[in-house]
Amino acid sequence: MKHDNKDKQGGMDTRRRILEAAEECFARYGYDSTGVAEICKAAAVSKGALYHHFATKQAIFVEMFETWMDGFAEQMQRIPQQADSVPNALLRMVKMIGVIFQRAAGQLPLFVEFLTKASRDPETWNATIAPYKFFRDFFADLIRRGIDEGSLRQVDPELTARIIVSFGAGLVMQGVFDPEGGRWTEVGVQGIQTILQGIVKGP
Amino acid sequence: MKHDNKDKQGGMDTRRRILEAAEECFARYGYDSTGVAEICKAAAVSKGALYHHFATKQAIFVEMFETWMDGFAEQMQRIPQQADSVPNALLRMVKMIGVIFQRAAGQLPLFVEFLTKASRDPETWNATIAPYKFFRDFFADLIRRGIDEGSLRQVDPELTARIIVSFGAGLVMQGVFDPEGGRWTEVGVQGIQTILQGIVKGP
């Protein structure tokens, strides 16, 4: 998903500085109320430099979102390598939910503002649903590995991945929108354990 | 959740006409671009009549949303009375997901626009999370009934309700945002069956 800019170090620094400044401005003023001029000022770069890296304000937002999701995906991908079985990997992943909540809490208004833009613009929309697609493929692979290693029954990997992603997405959504509404990490762990009881191989 | 207006019949008609006109205008022009004047024109009522029923445009939106959720909640509440056991009631409910998708498909931009407003305004926000609370209580009651009737194990009703609502919310979200991404009704049925395997009483 990431931009593979092969510029010299200075170019990458500028790019990162713009992204960090934009994230700060968006969080403070909202997406709509932030102009490219403010981002330039906060990043201490010229408009020319900004437009060299990003065609539009929206492009900055999309890359911010993708970078955030990439970081999360990398963390997730490391877990199966460390866990001794697929069921244990799933349980370790769901325990990361707390970290997601913490990161997401302050970003909620920004995130829904982004969704609003996205729902009216096909290109942004694709960037928004790309993570779902990534996680579906990721979990389908994991389920296949579980079947191969003998820990899971012969379930449908694609379907089971969608069950897990539905549960995870709804859990994150509730945790972000209504943090006081439940002990969400516990709900996550129990939920995955319940789903596992339906898909693990019996004795 | 509903407004209990005890006005004479004419008052209720006007109220309903305003809500229907607003829903049409919002869907066509978006929430922000719809003025109270347009709603008045579409509903063929005076501004005075509109403000007699609704203090603000936002109040119209909140009631639209509540009325929609009330209708859905009523449909859900009827199911346990018709099903012979709690596991069967859960399976019948998840099959309604298709109906939700159909209704929600055209409303997506409007819904995210509403979420954007809501995330900046505590009162609207409470109206948005009220349905989650309703469904959590509703499913917790249902789980308790299942334990009482002997079909479910002695699970924690509150926790299990949150697992089911997380799964359902994530399923609806994916189905609405990415309808082509899966056979969502089937994912729903299989997901509930998988969760049921973890909570039904063994033989």
Give the whole-angstrom CA distance, residue A72 versus residue A97.
11
Residue A5 above 50 pLDDT? no
Tell me: pLDDT of A98 over 80: no
In tens, the pLDDT along B84-118 reads 999 999 999 998 877 777 776 667 667 777 777 77
Residue B161: closest C-alpha in chain A: A187
> If pLDDT is split at 50, 70 and 90, which confidence band does B6 have?
very low
For the segment A41-51, the average pLDDT, to the nearest whole number, is: 96
B-interface mutation test, from A133, A139, A187, A196, most B Cβ less than 10 A away: A187
List pLDDT tens digits, range B127-177: 777 777 888 999 999 999 999 999 999 999 999 999 999 999 889 888 877
Measured CA distances, A165 to A107, B43, B172 (Å) = 21, 42, 12
* Residue whose token pair is 């639209």: B64
For residue B156, the chain A residues in CB contact (below 8 A) are 190
Distance CA(B151)–CA(B202), nearest Å, equals 9
Q: Which is it for the CA torsion B183, B188, B189, B195, positive or negative?
A: positive
The pLDDT > 70 percentage for chain B reads: 89
C-alpha to C-alpha distance for A51 and A46, rounded to whole angstroms: 9
Question: If we measure between CA atoms, which residue out of A6, A121, A106, A132 comes closest to residue A58?
Answer: A121
ipTM exceeding cut-off 0.85 for this assembly: no
pLDDT band at B5 (very low <50, low <70, confident <90, very high): very low
Q: How many CA atoms lie within 13 A of A161 on its CB side?
A: 22
Per-residue confidence band for A108, with pLDDT thresholds at 50, 70 and 90: low
Mean pLDDT value of segment A173-185: 83
Look over chain B and give the mean of its residue pLDDT values, rounded to a whole number: 85
- In sequence order, the 6+-apart residues with CB closer than 8 A to the CB of B155 are B143, B147, B199
C-alpha distance from B25 to closest chain A C-alpha (Å)? 17
Do B190 and A159 lie within an 8 Å CB cutoff? yes
Residue B123, pLDDT > 80, answer no
B113/A116 touch (CB, cutoff 8 Å), yes or no: yes
Backbone angles phi, psi at A3, to 5 degrees: -70, 125
